[in-house]
Amino acid sequence: MHAPAYLHLSRHRVFYLRWPLPKALHPQGRASTVKVSLETRDKRRALQLARSLGYSAERLIAKGTATGMKYEDIRAVVKRHFSDALERKQAQIADTGRLDREMVQALENSVAFAQDALDRNEPQFLMGEDDTALLGRFIAMYGLSVDPASPAYESLRIEFKKAYRDWCSAVLEHDRTLDGYSFTQAAAAVSEAPTIAKPVATLREVGERYIEENIRGDRWAKKTEFEKGEHIALLYEILGVETCIRAVTAPKAREVKETLLAFPKNRNKIAKTKGLSLAEAIAVPGVEKLNVQTINKYLGTYAGLFIWAKNNGYRPAEAWEFTEAVL
C-alpha cells in the first residue's frame, strides 16, 4: 500500500500527518509544516485519516490564502516601510543638506495628488506609472499574502496612498525644522517619579525586525529560526510586547533570568502546564525546570537581540548589555 508523502511514521511506530504551511499563513512569514498525530499504528486507518485531514487542510489553506492579510497587519507593514524610508531621508538631509526648491515643490505636489487620489478613489500615479505596478513590487518585496482581486488589496492600495501622502508631509516638516535655530531651554519638569522617554520602538517591533533581518540574511538554520522565535515569544510574554525597548534595564533582565530559572521544561507539552498562563505554569509544583544550558540559550538569544537593537539605534550606546545576565 503506497503511503503519500504527507504521511509519516514516528520512531514509536505511530503515524503522523505532516502538511506544508505556506509562509503567507505563518505568523513569522516563513514556510513551515504542521505535524498532527493520527494516534494509530494501523497503516490502513492512518491512510483514511490522512486523506480526510489532507482534504480539509487543502480547503483551509486555500481559504486562508484567499482571505489575505488582516487590516492591522497591512497598516503595520506599510507603516514600517515608510518609517524606514523617512529615517533614510532624514539621514540623507543630515549628510548632504536641505531639500532644494524643486524637491520641495515636488513633495508638496505629491501630497496634493495623493489626497486627490484618495478623495476620488482613483489610482495614484508615481513616476509615470500607476500604483498597480508599485503595489506589485511592494507585495513582492515583503512577501505579502494579498490577492489583487481581494478586499485586502484594496485596503493596501488605500493605506499606501495615505502613508505616501504623510511621508511626503513628514519630510517637508523635517526640512522646515532647519529654517532656524532655537536657543531657549524649556524649564525642566519636576516629578517625584522617574519618567521614561517616548518609545522609539516597542519590544515586539524590534524583535520582529531582528528576526526578519536574520531570516532574510539566511543567517539561521531552520531549527535555529524556530528556537529563536520561541525564545523571543517568551520574552514578549515576560516583559510585554508593547514595552519600550529602551525601558528594558538591568532590573528587567533580572526578572527575565529569574523567570527562566523557574520556567517549566516542555511547558506546552506536559499536561500539568499545557494551556496555562506564564504565572500559572511557573507556580505548578513538581515539574522539571529548564537546565542551565537551555537557560543560557535563551539568554544568548536575548543578548543578540539587544546588541542588534543598540547597533541599529533602538537603544543608546551606553545602554546596559543583556549579556551580563548569562549564567
> Would you say residue 318 has pLDDT above 80?
no
Mean pLDDT, residues 100-107 taken together: 92
Residue with cell string 543567517: 219
Mean pLDDT, residues 25-51 taken together: 72
pLDDT value at position 307?
87
What cell was used for 300? 544568548
Residue 294 and residue 228 share a domain: yes
**Residue 128: which region, alpha, beta or left (left: phi > 0; alpha: psi -120 to 50)?**
left
Decide if 37 is inside a domain: yes
What cell was used for 299? 539568554
Q: How many CB atoms lie within 10 A of CB 61?
A: 17
Mean pLDDT, residues 133-153 taken together: 80
Residue 163 and residue 218 share a domain: no
Cα–Cα distance, 282 to 235 (Å, whole number):
15
Return phi, psi of residue 71, to 5°.
-60, -45
Cα–Cα distance, 4 to 110 (Å, whole number):
55
Average pLDDT over the chain reads 80
Q: 3-17, 167-181, 278-292: which has the minimum mean pLDDT?
A: 3-17
For the chain, percent helix, then strand, then coil, each to nearest 5?
A: 60, 5, 35
**Kind and range of the H or E element at 325?**
none
Residue ending a domain, among 67, 84, 107, is 67
Residue 319 and residue 210 share a domain: yes
Residue 234 and residue 148 share a domain: no
Decide if 196 is inside a domain: no
Residue 168 and residue 236 share a domain: no
User: Minimal CA–CA distance to 299: which of 262, 243, 267, 256?
Assistant: 256
- If DSSP states are collapsed to H, E and C, what string results for 39-51? CCCCHHHHHHHHH
Decide if 296 is inside a domain: yes
Provide the 3-class DSSP secondary structure of residue 126.
Answer: strand
> Would you say residue 321 has pLDDT above 70?
no
Cα–Cα distance, 18 to 5 (Å, whole number):
8
Decide if 197 is inside a domain: no
Domain with 104 in it: 71-176
Choose from 65-69, 176-180, 218-222 the range with maximum mean pLDDT: 176-180
Domain count, the chain: 3
Cα–Cα distance, 141 to 155 (Å, whole number):
18
Segment 193-227, tens digit of pLDDT: 454 444 468 999 999 999 988 888 888 888 888 88
Residue 238 and residue 159 share a domain: no
pTM of the predicted model, to two decimals? Answer: 0.42
User: Minimal CA–CA distance to 47: which of 55, 61, 58?
Assistant: 55
Q: List, in sequence order, every residue forming a beta bridge with 128; answer none if it has no partner.
A: none
